[in-house]
């Protein structure tokens, strides 16, 4: 990385370079967070595909309650992500 000399580099170039570095850092953080979400979604999908580890012969009301809790959290996330409900503008 080349460091700009504040003594000889015009201020607008320094500001532009700082802005570019800031954008690059934000993009790297965004990509990292997206990968984290992708991993969580893949795990949830696999759990869902396995019927949330519940055998049809063993399902009881605690399973229903647990799925209700998961569904409520997912509804909240969807409302936030799509700007719905209390998150609507």
Q: How far apart are CA 85 and CA 78, in angstroms?
A: 10
Indicate if 36 and 5 belong to the same structural domain: yes
Indicate if 2 and 45 belong to the same structural domain: yes
Sign of CA dihedral 78, 81, 87, 89: negative
Indicate if 10 and 35 belong to the same structural domain: yes
Indicate if 39 and 20 belong to the same structural domain: yes
Indicate if 45 and 73 belong to the same structural domain: no
Q: Which residue range(s) make up the domain with 24?
A: 1-49
pLDDT of residue 78: 96
Indicate if 39 and 3 belong to the same structural domain: yes
pTM comes to: 0.75
Q: How far apart are CA 73 and CA 71, in angstroms?
A: 6
pLDDT of residue 36: 98
pLDDT of residue 77: 96
Indicate if 1 and 43 belong to the same structural domain: yes
Indicate if 9 and 43 belong to the same structural domain: yes
Indicate if 18 and 60 belong to the same structural domain: no
Q: Report the number of distinct structural domains present in the chain.
A: 2
Residues of the chain where predicted confidence (pLDDT) is lower than 50: none
């Amino acid at each position: 990385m080349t460091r700009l000399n504040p003594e000889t580099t015009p201020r607008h170039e320094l500001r532009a370079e700082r802005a570019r570095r800031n954008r690059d850092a934000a993009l790297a953080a965004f990509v990292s967070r997206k990968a984290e979400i992708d991993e969580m979604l893949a795990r949830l999908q696999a759990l869902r595909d396995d019927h949330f580890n519940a055998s049809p012969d063993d399902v009881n009301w605690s399973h229903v309650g647990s799925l209700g809790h998961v569904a409520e959290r997912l509804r909240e996330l969807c409302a936030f992500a799509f700007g719905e409900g209390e998150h609507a503008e």
